[in-house]
Amino acid sequence: MVEQESLKTKVFADGADLQSITDLARDSSIAGFTTNPTLMRNAGLTDYQAFARQVLDVVTDKPVSFEVCADEGDEILRQARTIASWGDNVYVKVPVTTCAGEPLADVARQLSEDGVKVNVTALFTVAQVEKVAHAIGDGAPAYLSVFAGRIADAGIDPMPIVAQAVAMANSIPNAEVIWASPREVLNLVQANDVGCHIITMTPDLLKKRASLGKDLEQFSLETVQMFRNDALTAGLSIPF
């Protein structure tokens, strides 16, 4: 059975709920935080900078990734430098390409060489990772976010891709790979098995870590009990 304490992969909390972030900031098992525009939209946020300032007021000693909203190189550069100015623990999420599929490795290179800590996001292929890793290799600390969960959604095993990304990152200074978009707690174990440095997990997924290492016979019994209790609570019955 896998014990959570034995895992070396760092866990970053992924979300845009300020209260959840505030609570998790005090959790020693959480090594950092990430968010993105989709999570912010789902949380009903409209003032990006105000939200970021609130997050950075409570997360002072762990890395936090905030994403640019632009799709054109010069504007991405401007936004990224603005976001980076919000705090020393800020990483700026830059997409791997524009919406038209134009690579943004050179943009990541400029930022990294200027001392901006970047988190290059939406990486899906080994070729993308290789290009970005080469671009940020001599710059500031950086993250490479491989969207392993979405790769799996395409019916492709993400583990070999993440493993190759880790090997590339380990060959250059200050780069770490993030297993992004996980779908289940098993992904934490898989990330650890391939030596992935970090995994992002939503609050709902973080709660499920309590099941790591659980005896399966006991887990089976608890599941049966849950179904029975829920039937009683809902007043379900089968008529004669």
Q: Which of 8, 10, 62, 93 is catalytic?
A: 93
Q: What dotted CATH number matches 4-209?
A: 3.20.20.70
CA dist 162 and 166 (Å) reads: 6
- The single residue listed with the structure tokens 């993440």 is 162
From the centroid of its chain, how far is CA 230? Answer: 33
Q: What are the structure tokens assigned to 197, written together?
A: 């440095």
CA dist 91 and 133 (Å) reads: 16
Please check whether residue 209 is in contact with residue 188, taking contact to mean a CB–CB distance below 8 angstroms.
Answer: yes
Q: What is the residue-level pLDDT of the chain in tens, covering all 240 positions?
A: 566 678 999 999 999 999 999 999 999 999 999 999 999 999 999 999 999 999 999 999 999 999 999 999 999 999 999 999 999 999 999 999 999 999 999 999 999 999 999 999 999 999 999 999 999 999 999 999 999 999 999 999 999 999 999 999 999 989 999 999 999 999 999 999 999 999 999 999 999 999 999 999 999 999 999 999 999 999 999 998
62 annotated active-site? no
Supply angle C-alpha 13, 85, 31, rounded to 5: 20
Q: What are the structure tokens assigned to 113, written together?
A: 């060489």
Domain boundaries, the chain: 4-209
Q: Specify the pTM.
A: 0.94
